Structure 1
Amino acid sequence: MERSALDAVYQELILKHYRSSRFRGELDAPDAVIPMRNPVCGDDILLQVRVDDDRIAEIRFSGHGCAISQAAASMMSEHAVGKSWDEVRGISDRFREMIHGDETASRDKKLGDMRALAGVAKLPRRVKCAMLAWDALDEAEKKIRSGEPES
């Protein structure tokens, strides 16, 4: 596929996740609720996670911000549901490598739709936007593993 055509597909995929994520909303009984903010550009994410048997059973997010932060939250949610914390950490690490410019990671099929965000590596000011939901998920794991109850 020609580079400009591929860029257009990726742009459309990012916009699709930005506009209509099936993970946007709230959970009835989350095990963790994590607010995360990017003070540089004002992006906000409120991540809610419910775990069952050390696997992410449900995940929802709300918030506002740029297409990158909101699409990344949607894509992260899609990839996290049903996975163990160890599996999620592996995906998160690979995504982080891609966002920081690792060409091999940007071709890793395990990242699925998230590969559409590989171009963020060329926009250093947007890396935090793309990582916001992943950082929130990392905090959710810490909170859940510590046994800290959600109020």
Structure 2
Amino acid sequence: MMNNTFYNEILTDHNLHPAHKKKLEDANLVLEGVNPSCGDDIILELKEENGVITDGAFVGSGCAISQASVDMMLELIIGKTKEEALQLADLFSRMIKGEAKGDELEPLEEAMSLADISKMPARVKCAVLGWHTMEELLEKEAEKNL
């Protein structure tokens, strides 16, 4: 498990220097995600080609946890298939609920630093906003293609 100093460094870095907080002009999948309980609001934009997420970005505002979490998520899912991205979202969700721990979390890389959010119920919705938005976006896209 990561220590609090490392957690704070990762969170701070993703807030001060988000790699994916920008407009993605050629996105072909777009969805707004809102956390009404605290006002976090993002627009997630993905570029998908042949079942692979080739690029992604987000714009919006919110707390440090919501913004860092969606930036970490994009780091993980770009270059992955939609199925792999959904598997990562499931693992992240299980981690936040305290149902997944230890080596099982390795695929989440830096996003593992948010594991202790499970002990802060008021912040769970912040951490999962980007992930839930991505799941909803990919599920809606899959339904359209049936």
Same fold, TM exceeding 0.5? yes
With 94-103 and 114-123 compared, the bigger mean Cα shift is at 94-103
- Please say if residues 76 and 134 of structure 1, whose CA atoms lie closer than 8 Å, have aligned partners that are also in contact: yes
Instruction: Report the TM-score when normalising by structure 2.
Output: 0.92
| Structure 2, unaligned runs of 5 or more | none
| Structure 1 residues 107 and 19, CA gap change in structure 2 (3 angstroms) | farther
Equivalent positions of 1:8-27 (< 5 A) are 8-27=5-24
The one-letter code matched in structure 2 to 1:25 is K
Match of 2:133, as an amino acid?
A
Once the two structures are superposed, residues 85-123 of structure 1 have per-residue CA deviations (whole angstroms, 9 ceiling, x without a partner) of 111111111110110113525862111100110110011
Deviation of residue 147 (structure 1)? 3.9
Partner of 1:84: 81
What's the C-alpha RMSD, in Å, of the aligned pairs?
1.9
- Read off the aligned partner of 1:29 and give its amino acid letter: D
- Tell me what 1:113 maps to: 110
Q: Give 4+ residue runs of structure 1 displaced > 3 Å after superposition.
A: none
Q: Counterpart amino acid of 1:133?
A: G
Gaps of 5+ in 1: none
Q: Determine helix, strand or coil for the equivalent of 1:108.
A: helix
Contact 1:97–1:105 (Cα < 8 Å) also in 2: no
Partner of 2:121: 124
Aligned-partner residue type, residue 74 of structure 2: S
1:65 aligns with 2:62: yes
User: Equivalents in 2 of 1:104, 1:57: separation in Å?
Assistant: 29
- Given the superposition, is the C-alpha separation of residues 105 and 43 from structure 1 closer, same or farther in structure 2, using an over 3 Å criterion? farther
Conserved? CA contact 2:53–2:79, under 8 Å:
yes
1:39 aligns with one of 10, 25, 36: 36
CA drift at 1:144: 2.6
Identity %: 34
Query: Shift of residue 33 of structure 1?
Result: 1.3
Looking at structure 1, the residues matched to 12 and 77 of structure 2 have their Cα atoms a distance apart, in angstroms, of 20
